[in-house]
Structure 1
Amino acid sequence: AVLLLLPAARAGLCPAPCSCRIPLLDCSRRKLPAPSWRALSSSLPPDAVSLKMNYNELTEIPYFGEPTTNITLLSLVHNIIPEINAEAFQFYPALESLDLSSNIISEVKTSSFPRMQLKYLNLSNNRITILEAGCFDNLSSSLLVVKLNRNRISMIPPKIFKLPHLQFLELKRNRIKVVEGLTFQGLDSLRSLKMQRNGISKLKDGAFFGLDNMEELELEHNNLTEVNKGWLYGLRMLQQLYVSQNAVERISPDAWEFCQRLSELDLSYNQLTRLDESAFVGLSLLERLNLGDNRVTHIADGVFRFLSNLQTLNLRNNEISWAIEDASEAFAGLTSLTKLDLNNNAIMSIQENAFSQTRLKELILNTSSLLCDCHLKWLLQWLVDNNFQHSVNVSCAHPEWLAGQSILNVDLKDFVCDDFLKPQIRTHPETTVALRSMNVTLTCTAVSSSDSPMSTLWRKDSEILYDADIENFVRYQQQAGEALEYTSVLHLFNVNFTDEGKYQCIITNHFGSNYSHKAKLTVNEMPSFLKTPMDLTIRTGAMARLECAAEGHPAPQISWQKDGGTDFPAARERRMHVMPEDDVFFIANVKIEDMGIYSCMAQNIAGGLSANASLIVLETPSFIRPLEDKTVTRGETAVLQCIAGGSPAPRLNWTKDDGPLLVTERHFFAAANQLLIIVDAGLEDAGKYTCIMSNTLGTERGHIYLNVISTPNCDSSQSSIGHEDDGWTTVGIVIIVVVCCVVGTSLIWVIVIYHMRRKNEDYSITNTDELNLPADIPSYLSSQGTLSEPQEGYSNSEAGSHQQLMPPANGYLHKGAD
């Protein structure tokens, strides 16, 4: 580019035709470079710090022939410079402030600026449409202020501003419609952002994320429709937020979650129609709130109760007359309020305690619709006591003989309620709880001493129901003189959850309105299952997953039971987890004891229901106790234990020496074949016994070696005493004793003692060693054990659980007299 060269002249003099007010050299409005202009009459004064060449015809940044090391401010406003040339700035090494506003620059390139210590940059009122990525990177170490107002910027590329020291950014009057998330990331020190008059219709979630130190955000004159926490995310230090002159219809319930340091909020000139209870939750530090010039008709009870520090509240030019008339504590919570503007709300009456919690020093009120009866008598005295008579313009509309008079001119004795011209509510609608799809009727009755026609409106949550099904009845009754009774019935057919709310009737005649109590309608629905648990068969060690979900109103609570109770073995071992968000119940590392019937219970205030699913746990056969070899003396009783585990319960078989087991009258099986009892063991019984257990999942084998040793002093003749007559009795006694050890019930012990005594009386048995009980029979085979499922050879009786020994396979029967 060709630089404009202004050659130096004599030093020390102010170059003509500029004016010098050191440290300022002002060459503005000189039509530079005019055809007749060739050069300045002298060089720049050495003590000049600021150079202004505004309102000329410069087409480029001027150059004076040598570096201007003292110039820190250069203003070139209102010229016709079309681009920014980085080379021109090498002659301004000390430049800190540059104003190029009102030129014809169309883009800012990455190469537009060299590395320099610029602090202030104004590019407003140009034709800029493009901001190249990194266009300000060479200024990142020093730049504090950037102004880009009145350009043609329609999009800001995300993360374009890598300016960690920037404190003020202005983007007013551009063409930005949408602000994407993370657009301003990199502006860690930004304190103020101004984006008025862009036509912004959408602020994406996280639009201002990264602006952790921003205190002021101005968004006036755009097209925003909602205030929500998505686009406010990250503004934790924000103190002033201006969103007036938009189209805001809604403040989301949790809008202020991320910016709770607000001290000033301006939402005036929007389209708000209601202030819900949660509209200002979290703004406990708010001092100034402007809601003027909206269309607010509904103010929820307690909407201001969170604003304990609020000092100024502007509600002018709304439609809140009903909200003020009906609420005795409309401004509850505003304990610091000193200024309240209620202008132009057509207020007809105000409850006596409406301002009781405030500290008002200024009240702005303008209404000509007041009903000046005894209920408003307090207002006159209150206005005078608080010295508000100069800031209000309030006059009566009723009664007729006070119409048009200022309330300040009405005598206290004229505020009378001798009759009840204004409707008086006699029957209020009642709070109701209904099931979904039922029909509900709400009734409201009022009387008046006037024959002025009455009309009724029904409101739900303080909003008028225009399309409601309403029946109205009028009749005269004799009550303190002729009185007009007016009854209004609201029919709600086939109610649904959307019908829930607070219902209120407003009955009006020529003399004013009256408001019923608010009746709450609650709609409930019995739970119904969306998902039910399914029967499940699973192997041990795996994860069991049961799903259950239900809907209803209110949302039902889901709980679980196992076998009709709340004792979950998996819970004790912390293997059970309930995920209510995912409607899932699962057990990790499933064990046999987790098997059972699981019930999903869905319960709400309307009722409950349950759904069952069986959990079957499969386990391959295994030995609960290691198999132990046995050594017995000839004639003793041998008990071989094969304690089996598995699911389904395994079937047990025995073999001897890898061949079939020859069962005699001395062989007995107990506990579903888990015990092999050999009475009067002989040498022929020695050998390898194999226990084979099997179920649907597999087969397991184990070996027990039985060793039978001879007794050297054994008298063969003695061992045969009573063989013919009581052999089976002896065997029976031995077996019963074994069973007693297995079962452990007192009934069997009685039988044992009986047999022992009778044998001692009738027979001479000299060797009773065979009655000694084997000490290693486990307790878990007793009636209190874990083998709870009756199997072959096992039964229950009223006297308790006991084992029945299986008879020998050859069908021999017990021959004893007992």
Structure 2
Amino acid sequence: MYMVVKLENVYNSTGLVLEDKSNLINVEITNSLIENIPSAFWDAIKNVRQLSLRRNNLTKIPNMIRNFTKLQKLTLKGNSISEISHQDVLFISKIKVVDLAKNQIEFWPNYIDASEVTATSFILKLDLSYNNLKHLFANSFWQLPSLAFLNLSNNKLSSFDKDLFKGLSMVTTIDLKSNNITIIYALSFRTNFVLEKLYLQHNDISIVQDGAFFNSKEMKHLNLSYNHLTTLANTWTFGLRYLDVLDISYNQISWIRPNFFHQSSHLKYLNISHNHLQRVLPNVFSSLSDLKVLSLSHNQIEHLNKQSLNGMHSLTDLDLSSNGLAVCLQDGLVLADLSMPSLHFLNFSANRLLVLPPYTFKYFPNLNGLDLTANPVVTIHPNAFYNLNLTRLYFESQSLNCDCRLRWFSKWLQESTFEESRILAQCSRPSNFINMDMQGLDFDNITCAEKDPYIQLVLQLPKEMNAIEGKENSIVCSGYGASPINVQWKIYEKEQTYILDNFNNDKDIEITVNNTLITNGSSFESVSSVLRFKKVTSANEAQYQCIMSNPYGPVYSGRSMVSVVSIPIFVERPQSVLVSEGETIRLKCKADGIPPPIIKWSKGNDNFFPAAFERRLHIDDDENSDDFYILKAKVKDTGEYTCNAENAASTSKEKVLVVVVEQPSSNSLNETTIEIEETDTLNINCVDSQLDSFDWQEYLEIEWIKNNNLTMDQVESTAHFCINDTLIEDRGKYTCIIRSKNGDKQYEKSFYVDIHERSNFRSAIKREIKANGSYIAIFIGIFIAFIVSAIVLGKKLLQKPNQTNIPEIGVEEEMTNMLNK
């Protein structure tokens, strides 16, 4: 039989004689003066396996026990030891379990040189909790490679070196809770290959660096609760592939990165309760297909996206208590696409729930436990618990409207048999049922009011609506029911959800509510509310929901998705072109808008493209740009082409003119020689007749140049150039240049005009007038008039009486015409 010796309150050596010590395995001495115990006693117990020296006010490890070679467990808890020496470390390394908790240790030796280590380490468990350790050096425990459990909790550590635990390749549990640690550095546990449990709760940790737990492949349990984490944004979960339990409750987490849990896809238990979450982004938990328990309680969540809880097919327990998630059950939309076939228990307490609509839990077919306590439920629609086999129900409401709508609930409560329940279902109206318990109510006496007090929506919101950026727009919601009716608008943005009403307007949104009594003195009213966008911006793109509520509960409209669109704006406009037959026509058109516009081309009024039928038309699609090509252009391709940029907001149009001229027959391309005689009229057509059918001045500009450098400013921009009564000086090279409105040259044609001299009197006079000016012209004119008058006078003298005056008249007319010219 093994022998155990317990000594307490020993202050002298009297009575410390051990006669039979062969079976002694455990000695426990407490509240004694160790220095007064004689050496004979220590010699008698030197083969003991377990030694406890608790609460003896020791200031160091006693020297008399250093030769206890068979010692396996040493307890020095509750003493006043303040320092551990190198020799102490080497001594305890030979003992399997060492408890140094609740001392006053401030110093732990740093790195011990390998030459000082004389024996193999056997220690498995070391408890240094409840001491005054403020700093630990790198490699402080490397001489204890056999250590499996290390407890450093309840000290004063503010940080620790990333090499502190280097060498502890066999450690499975490290307890660092209740210190002052502020940061976990990267690679802090990279050599702890078999680490399974890490406790870091009750610290001041606000930063966990990427890769902090890298190489801790066997970690199963990580507790970071009661710290100061604000986001789960980085990838410090990298390497925690087989983590089962993660507790990050009681932090200040307000945001979780969507792929944060991808590295820990085998989690079974996840606690994020008591944080500052206001929203859970879609698919945050989608990788947690093995998760059994999830707690999101005591956050500030007021909305769950339809995809927020996707992927957790094995979830059995979900705690959503103490949030503002009433809408998730009341509007019937959030959980509509969610399926949790394994869910057994749902805690939805304290979520400001007022109404349970029909088929609320139909997507949780195996739900058998439900907590709805601390919700001011007013009414529960029939079939709210459809297809559920509840064995546990916790329900608490003193606000029930016990009318005919709840007749079924009263009967259901009385007939149901629950294995476990806590039900408080009291009526607040009508007046004859106030404070009555529905479980004892005679449901046959429950009647309906003459007028249904519950709100009925008259005008539902459109499912989708386009709002043009920069314009005014509005959404209207209306309904009627028992007064007073309050109206709120709920806005579901990507990153947040918030409420607006006529008392709490957004700077860009105005809400008006018009309440009208249905009849004078009636307690019923109709309500119409308008949500008006003063000037639509991209920030207004969201889902909008109208919520009307009265004392009988809320009614939710469908959600209207408002998409902000903008009218297409051309960032690259097509330009009018003029090409010769056989060339390639290229029109470039690019536009921006929301959504990105689609580019379509049209021609004239009939959209007939000859080039399309002849397979000469090509369009290069490049996102919101389309280059339009016509190969081997023909004259019949001439026409007005329109680039149409279309999107949900509008269609923007840009029209251009395409002119195809015939290929010149001569070898000299776009060059023509014109020969006329002096005084003839010179007519030059830049382009034959293709432009006549169009108001081409809208698209093109024409410039005439003489002899390559002289701009003919006096000639208007016209396709036809004319000189009357030409002179020899008018000969030369005339060039017609056609440009698009942006100044790009589209076409050029030259005309070489050769004017031959005409040998007659009239031409001479014209040349002289142009050469010498107006004075000579007057002199010549007077001279000619004199000569003509003399001829006329001579003819009159020779004329016979019966002759006509025709020749005379002819000469006078010729004179007059010549003078005029």
TM range (shorter): 0.5 to 0.7
State the partner residue of 1:486.
Answer: 525
State the partner residue of 2:281.
Answer: 252
State the partner residue of 1:723.
Answer: none
Q: How many correspondences in the alignment?
A: 586
Tell me the distance in 1 between the aligned counterparts of 2:252 and 2:608: 59
Tell me the distance in 2 between the aligned counterparts of 1:548 and 1:182: 47
1:466 pairs, out of 498, 501, 505, with: 501
Find the residue that maps to 2:568 and give its secondary structure. strand
* Corresponding letter in the other structure for 2:411: Q
* Corresponding letter in the other structure for 2:100: L
Whether 2:404 is the aligned partner of 1:374: answer: yes
Find the residue that maps to 2:439 and give its secondary structure. helix
Taking only the aligned residue pairs, the percentage that are identical comes to: 19
State the partner residue of 1:620.
Answer: none
* Corresponding letter in the other structure for 1:410: L
Q: CA deviation at 1:577?
A: 8.4
Whether 2:571 is the aligned partner of 1:528: answer: no
In 2 relative to 1, CA 93–561 (structure 1 residues): closer, same or farther, beyond 3 Å? farther
Whether 2:319 is the aligned partner of 1:319: answer: no
2:476 pairs, out of 442, 448, 454, with: 442
Whether 2:550 is the aligned partner of 1:508: answer: yes
Q: CA deviation at 1:423?
A: 4.4
State the partner residue of 1:303.
Answer: 334
Q: Is the Cα–Cα contact under 8 Å of residues 457 and 557 in structure 2 kept in the other structure?
A: no
Tell me the distance in 2 between the aligned counterparts of 1:353 and 1:568: 66
In 2 relative to 1, CA 119–652 (structure 1 residues): closer, same or farther, beyond 3 Å? farther
Tell me the distance in 2 between the aligned counterparts of 1:377 and 1:308: 30
1:427 pairs, out of 451, 458, 462, with: 458
Find the residue that maps to 1:25 and give its secondary structure. strand
In 2 relative to 1, CA 586–359 (structure 1 residues): closer, same or farther, beyond 3 Å? farther
State the partner residue of 2:519.
Answer: 476
* Corresponding letter in the other structure for 2:132: I
Q: CA deviation at 1:264?
A: 1.3
2:98 pairs, out of 69, 74, 78, with: 74
* Corresponding letter in the other structure for 1:50: K
Deviations 1:143-172 (A, max 9, x none): 222111122221222122212321111112
Q: Is the Cα–Cα contact under 8 Å of residues 601 and 641 in structure 2 kept in the other structure?
A: yes
Q: CA deviation at 1:335?
A: 1.3
Deviations 1:36-85 (A, max 9, x none): x7624x94263x42222222233216858997886322222122331145
RMSD, matched Cα: 4.6
Whether 2:376 is the aligned partner of 1:346: answer: yes
State the partner residue of 2:440.
Answer: 409
Tell me the distance in 2 between the aligned counterparts of 1:366 and 1:412: 19
* Corresponding letter in the other structure for 1:399: P
Tell me the distance in 2 between the aligned counterparts of 1:568 and 1:183: 67
Find the residue that maps to 1:108 and give its secondary structure. coil
Tell me the distance in 2 between the aligned counterparts of 1:424 and 1:607: 38
Deviations 1:461-497 (A, max 9, x none): 69754223111111428xxxx9655221212334647
Find the residue that maps to 1:491 and give its secondary structure. strand
In 2 relative to 1, CA 652–303 (structure 1 residues): closer, same or farther, beyond 3 Å? same
* Corresponding letter in the other structure for 1:313: L
Q: CA deviation at 1:364?
A: 0.8
State the partner residue of 1:770.
Answer: none
Find the residue that maps to 1:102 and give its secondary structure. coil
Q: Is the Cα–Cα contact under 8 Å of residues 574 and 588 in structure 2 kept in the other structure?
A: yes
Q: CA deviation at 1:310?
A: 1.6
Find the residue that maps to 2:177 and give its secondary structure. coil
1:183 pairs, out of 212, 216, 221, with: 212
Deviations 1:686-735 (A, max 9, x none): xxxxxxxxxxxxxxxxxxxxxxxxxxxxxxxxxxxxxxxxxxxxxxxxxx
Tell me the distance in 1 between the aligned counterparts of 2:665 and 2:166: 79
Q: CA deviation at 1:220?
A: 1.4
State the partner residue of 1:124.
Answer: 153
* Corresponding letter in the other structure for 1:341: D
Deviations 1:116-153 (A, max 9, x none): 232222222222233223222222x3222211112222
Tell me the distance in 1 between the aligned counterparts of 2:200 and 2:294: 20
Q: Is the Cα–Cα contact under 8 Å of residues 153 and 175 in structure 1 kept in the other structure?
A: yes
2:124 pairs, out of 91, 96, 101, with: 96
Q: Is the Cα–Cα contact under 8 Å of residues 178 and 204 in structure 1 kept in the other structure?
A: no
Q: CA deviation at 1:567?
A: 14
Q: Is the Cα–Cα contact under 8 Å of residues 429 and 516 in structure 1 kept in the other structure?
A: no
Q: Is the Cα–Cα contact under 8 Å of residues 477 and 546 in structure 2 kept in the other structure?
A: no
Q: CA deviation at 1:606?
A: 4.5
Whether 2:314 is the aligned partner of 1:285: answer: yes
1:32 pairs, out of 38, 52, 58, with: 58
* Corresponding letter in the other structure for 1:27: L
Q: Is the Cα–Cα contact under 8 Å of residues 600 and 646 in structure 2 kept in the other structure?
A: no
In 2 relative to 1, CA 90–101 (structure 1 residues): closer, same or farther, beyond 3 Å? farther
More off after superposition, 389-398 vs 349-358: 389-398
State the partner residue of 1:157.
Answer: 185
Find the residue that maps to 2:412 and give its secondary structure. helix
Find the residue that maps to 2:183 and give its secondary structure. coil
State the partner residue of 2:761.
Answer: none
More off after superposition, 172-181 vs 557-566: 557-566
Give unmatched runs, 5+ long, in structure 2. 1-17, 31-44, 493-497, 503-510, 578-585, 670-746, 750-821
Tell me the distance in 2 between the aligned counterparts of 1:387 and 1:517: 36
Q: CA deviation at 1:290?
A: 0.9
State the partner residue of 2:80.
Answer: 57
* Corresponding letter in the other structure for 1:57: S
State the partner residue of 1:172.
Answer: 201
Tell me the distance in 1 between the aligned counterparts of 2:269 and 2:589: 49
Q: Is the Cα–Cα contact under 8 Å of residues 473 and 532 in structure 2 kept in the other structure?
A: yes
Tell me the distance in 2 between the aligned counterparts of 1:545 and 1:306: 54
Q: CA deviation at 1:454?
A: 3.1
Find the residue that maps to 1:413 and give its secondary structure. helix
* Corresponding letter in the other structure for 2:121: P
**1:561-600 maps to which residues of 2 (within 5 A)?**
580=623
State the partner residue of 1:239.
Answer: 268
Tell me the distance in 1 between the aligned counterparts of 2:89 and 2:247: 44
Tell me the distance in 2 between the aligned counterparts of 1:235 and 1:561: 53
Whether 2:422 is the aligned partner of 1:398: answer: no
* Corresponding letter in the other structure for 1:174: N
In 2 relative to 1, CA 186–506 (structure 1 residues): closer, same or farther, beyond 3 Å? same
* Corresponding letter in the other structure for 2:64: A
Q: Is the Cα–Cα contact under 8 Å of residues 271 and 294 in structure 1 kept in the other structure?
A: yes
Tell me the distance in 2 between the aligned counterparts of 1:416 and 1:202: 53
Q: CA deviation at 1:258?
A: 3.9
Tell me the distance in 2 between the aligned counterparts of 1:592 and 1:30: 104
Q: CA deviation at 1:108?
A: 2.7
State the partner residue of 2:507.
Answer: none
Give unmatched runs, 5+ long, in structure 1. 1-8, 538-543, 616-647, 655-789, 793-818
Q: Structure 1-normalised TM-score?
A: 0.62
Q: CA deviation at 1:332?
A: 3.4
Q: CA deviation at 1:600?
A: 7.3
Tell me the distance in 1 between the aligned counterparts of 2:226 and 2:416: 41
In 2 relative to 1, CA 651–107 (structure 1 residues): closer, same or farther, beyond 3 Å? farther
Deviations 1:405-446 (A, max 9, x none): 001121122221151262453734453846443454635343
Tell me the distance in 1 between the aligned counterparts of 2:77 and 2:588: 79
Q: Is the Cα–Cα contact under 8 Å of residues 83 and 104 in structure 1 kept in the other structure?
A: no
1:106 pairs, out of 134, 138, 154, with: 134
In 2 relative to 1, CA 210–483 (structure 1 residues): closer, same or farther, beyond 3 Å? same
